[in-house]
Amino acid sequence: MAERLSAGNMGVALLANTLATVFALYVLIELLGPVSGAHFNPLVTLVLGSKTAASGKRTRRTLLFITSQLLGAVAGAWLAHAMFDMSLLQVSGKVRSGTGQWLAEAVATAGLILIVLRAPTAKAPAMVACYIGAAYWFTASTSFANPAAVLGRMLSDSFAGIAPASVPGFVLAQGAGALVGVALHRAMGESQASTGQG
């Protein structure tokens, strides 16, 4: 919708995408937090899973969450295409590459992980949604900060897409950013952690 109504104005399209993301993310975290911890991000799931004692049940739960996140990203891309009468099966041609893009993804992901680990539970939905919305604008990459989001956006040849060739760099940068986020959390000392949003 943003791409169609912005008449080629990329700033307007980005603003519309930002607002839709912030509002939807906040609502989904509030809605699904009590059910599953609102796990939408494989890196968040891995970081939070590593904080608990290893067990077969924990491993199965982590794998189930990550599989669901990836399948949800694919289904979400297809649903968006169906709603706007577009071809369901697409691959993005939008190249997003280079040191600045990768650094931006590392920064975006580090900040997200730090918030997830340190935000008080009651404030986490708003903090995560506001951070991602802000990171749309203060990062060069528009803050994917989520490998599942990368997969979904790879399957949509739209304003928000990412070309398959750009995916490995983004995912590696996000992984590095997650490690930095965990290191920053530990350096800042113990804090109440949320149940795992984002």
Closest CA to 154 of 169, 138, 173, 175: 169
Q: What is the CATH number of domain 2-187?
A: 1.20.1080.10
Structural contact between residues 120 and 191, judged by C-beta atoms closer than 8 angstroms: no
Tokens of 182: 């965990």
Quote the CA–CA distance of 117 and 196 in Å, as a whole number: 8
Quote the CA–CA distance of 129 and 134 in Å, as a whole number: 9
Closest CA to 150 of 134, 166, 139: 166
For residue 165, what are the CA distances in angstroms to 105, 111, 151, 152, 177?
Answer: 16, 25, 12, 14, 20
The mean per-residue pLDDT over the stretch 17-32 comes to: 95
Quote the CA–CA distance of 70 and 74 in Å, as a whole number: 6
pTM: 0.90
pLDDT tops 90 at residue 140: yes
pLDDT band at 65 (very low <50, low <70, confident <90, very high): very high
Domain boundaries, the chain: 2-187
Residue 54: per-residue pLDDT = 60
